[in-house]
Each structure stands twice: as structure tokens, then as C-alpha cells.
Amino acid sequence: MDMESNGFFHYHETVSLVQMATPGEVLILDPLAVRDLSSLGAILSSPRTRKILHGSDYDLRSFDRQYGFHFRNLYDTAVATSLLNQELMGLGRALEAYLGVKVSKPARLQRSDWSRRPIPADALEYAVQDAAHLIALHDALDAKLASLNRRDWMAEECALMEEIRFEPPPPPEKACFSSKGTFDLEPSQLAVFREFYLLRERDAERMDRPPFKVLSNEAMLAIAREPRRSLGDLPNANRRWIAERAGDIRAAVERGLNAPPITHPSKLKRQPNPWHDAARETWQNLNAARKKMASSLGIGPSTLWPTRSLEQIALHPEIVEQELSGTSQHGVRAWQRTVFGPALKTVLEGVY
């Protein structure tokens, strides 16, 4: 399976195309025309039918957000590549590496508005390619995992992915602080940025356009740093929108200038540096052991053991039993505890 959405062109993105391949045929489902997708939901939730996707995180969230559909018997071929190689592979690279299949990915089709109808023939052919080879790729990857006794690893990873759910984004009043570059703004500048961000967000929803197509983050940062600058030379700016909304833009700037200065939430949460010499040495030893074993297994170090967990163990060695017991707060898997747990404890001998 694969799906396409229209988030690059609309404020509220929707599932706009669903591609499915069985051993005998490739099917294209138009969810904009077929309103009752309950039969598809039944297939997705059935433990009897395997659903093969590549890089399924976005798909899982999208189906949950729009339909409340959840997956069972999921097999993510991207995850499989991470259990066999040093990194996650994109679909095109995985198809070439494991099947010798090369697929064309024209940039213009990657940015298609999949909610437009009719869909051009070349766009449909492009969409088909994302599902057509997944069964063969699954078979090749699964055989390789079986030969290395890693199918249990894969089963655990996919079972955890099945629990992924859509989480609504924070309201714009909070989301603005996640924008790149805002951490470096002065409190008075951040107040201007927030007002500008809120204006852009309201207009993006009204116009049904992605916010970045109304005005770039770079342009909003420029206004925040120089509130009195000319609107005509903003970088990466939508000139038409600026011309139409010049009065509202200036009003937003004035509101920001007159508002109380704002401290970035991340600065409020800053803690003293917890790293001391003993913790750094422990981290170096743990990370070296992780790299050595990951290299011998042919996988990435963070696949073998989560970096966040390793850092916390270096800082607080006494939590290692918790990380090894199945009650980890940092995403440690059962297969990771089995494979790397003994080496981890060896490194920590005498530390705690």
C-alpha cells in the first residue's frame, strides 16, 4: 500500500489517493469519490491480511486522522532495511538494492496536487510505482531477515508502529515557538514574530493554502528583526498577499511592538549542563561499545540502542536496570535488551 495527500497545496490536508497491490494486480482507490471506506478500514485492521508499506509513519497518522483507521499485521519495508543496513533506505534505493529495480521519480510529480481531478496519466503511473513492487521487496527483505534470525526484531518494531496515532498540532499561539530561528530572537522581536505568525495562519486557513505558501518563515523572521523595514524586499515573500494585506500586516507589527516581550519557552526550560567528567567518560565507553556491536551486525548504532536511553544511562547509571527490565521510558525494545543488554552491563561494571 501507499497513499498520496494534498498537504503541499492545501491548509487542511486530506488523503487523496490510495494505491494497493495484490500479487495479481495494482488497484487505485479514489477516496474523494468513494465516501464509504469502511471495507478498507476492515482490511487495514484485520490481523489476517498483511499490509506492506514503506515509511509508514505518515500514512498511519493520516488514516487515523481522517478515518480513524488503524493497522494490524503491518510490515514496513523501510524498517526492515534499517534492521539490515546502516540506515533507513528510501523506497527507490531499496528497490534498486534488493530487487535491481529502478523507478523514475520526476520532481514535478513528487509535488503533485493529488486532490485535483482528473489525475494525469503520468501522475497515476508514478503513483502506481510506489505500491507495485512492495510485495516483491517484502519477500526479499523478509528472507534476508530470516537468514539473520532477525524476524522477531521486525515483528516487534512493526507491532510498535501499529500503535502510532495522529496527534493534533498545538494551537498557533504555541506552534509559533517551534518555527526555525525563533530561539535566537530577542523577547521584543519574538512578540512581533508571534503576531505575524498568527496573521499568516489565519489567512492560510481562509485561503486554504499551506502557510509557507502565504509567507515564508524567513520573511517573518526578517520582519521580527526589523519591524520598520520595507515590505517590498522581504525574502521569499508572496508579493500579491503582501500588497493585499499591507494594512493588516502593519497592524500586526504594531500589536507585536506594543505587546509585552516574550521569553521563548525553550529558554524557560533550560537546565544546567548535567554532564560531568565521569558521565562523559561513561558515555564514551557506552557509545564505543554500541558502535562496535552495531558495526558487527551491519546496522546503525541508534537502531541497536536508542541514543536518548544511552545518554540517560551515562548520566544516571543506576537506571540501567529499569532500561533493561522492560519499563524503559526511552523506547528500548525487547530485542535490543537481548542483543546489546549484556554488553551494556559489562561496560557499566564498577560504575554503579
pLDDT of residue 87: 82
pLDDT of residue 239: 87
The two domains 172-268 and 277-348 share their CATH topology (first three levels equal): yes
CATH 1.10.575 fits 277-348, yes or no: no
**Average of per-residue pLDDT across 331-351:** 92
Query: Contact 26/109 with Cβ under 8 angstroms?
Result: no
Among 56, 45, 65, which Cα is nearest to 167's? 65
- What letter represents residue 328's amino acid? S
Q: How many helices (H) and strands (E) does the chain have?
A: 20, 5
DSSP 291-330: HHHHHHHTS-HHHHS-HHHHHHHHH-GGGHHHHHTT--SS
Query: Contact 136/99 with Cβ under 8 angstroms?
Result: yes
Task: Please state which of the four CATH numbers 1.10.150.80, 1.10.3720.10, 1.20.1300.10, 3.40.50.620 is assigned to the domain occupying 172-268.
Answer: 1.10.150.80
Residue 182: pLDDT over 70: yes
Q: Nine-digit cell at 60? A: 498511519
pLDDT band (50, 70, 90) for residue 269: confident
pLDDT of residue 285: 96
Q: Nine-digit cell at 352? A: 554503579
Cβ burial of 323 (10 Å; 0-12, 13-18, 19+) is: buried
Mean pLDDT across the chain: 94
pLDDT of residue 107: 79
Distance CA 105, CA 21 (A): 19
Neighbouring residues of 177: CB distance < 8 A, sequence distance ≥ 6: 264, 265, 266
Residue 281: pLDDT over 90: yes
pLDDT, tens digit, for every residue of 60-96?
A: 999 999 999 999 999 999 999 999 998 889 999 999 9
Residue 119: pLDDT over 80: yes
Query: Contact 78/89 with Cβ under 8 angstroms?
Result: yes
pLDDT of residue 329: 86
Distance CA 169, CA 307 (A): 26
Residue 202: pLDDT over 90: yes
Compute and round to an integer the Cα radius of gyration of the chain.
25
3-state secondary structure of 91: helix
pLDDT band (50, 70, 90) for residue 317: very high
Distance CA 175, CA 194 (A): 9
Distance CA 58, CA 46 (A): 20
Residue 149: pLDDT over 70: yes
DSSP 213-253: HHB-HHHHHHHHH-TTS-GGG-TTB-HHHHHHTHHHHHHHH
CATH fold for the domain made of 2-161: Nucleotidyltransferase; domain 5 (3.30.420)
- For the chain, the domains span 2-161, 172-268, 277-348
Distance CA 58, CA 167 (A): 12
- Residue 26's DSSP bridge partners are 21
DSSP single-letter state for residue 51: E
Neighbouring residues of 233: CB distance < 8 A, sequence distance ≥ 6: none
pLDDT of residue 231: 86
88 vs 124, 177, 299, CA distance in Å?
26, 30, 10
pLDDT, tens digit, for every residue of 13-64?
A: 999 999 999 998 999 999 999 989 999 999 999 999 999 999 999 999 999 9
Pairing mode, if any, of strands 26-29 and 51-53? unpaired
Residue 350: pLDDT over 80: no
Handedness of CA 296, 301, 304, 309 (dihedral sign): positive
pLDDT of residue 352: 60
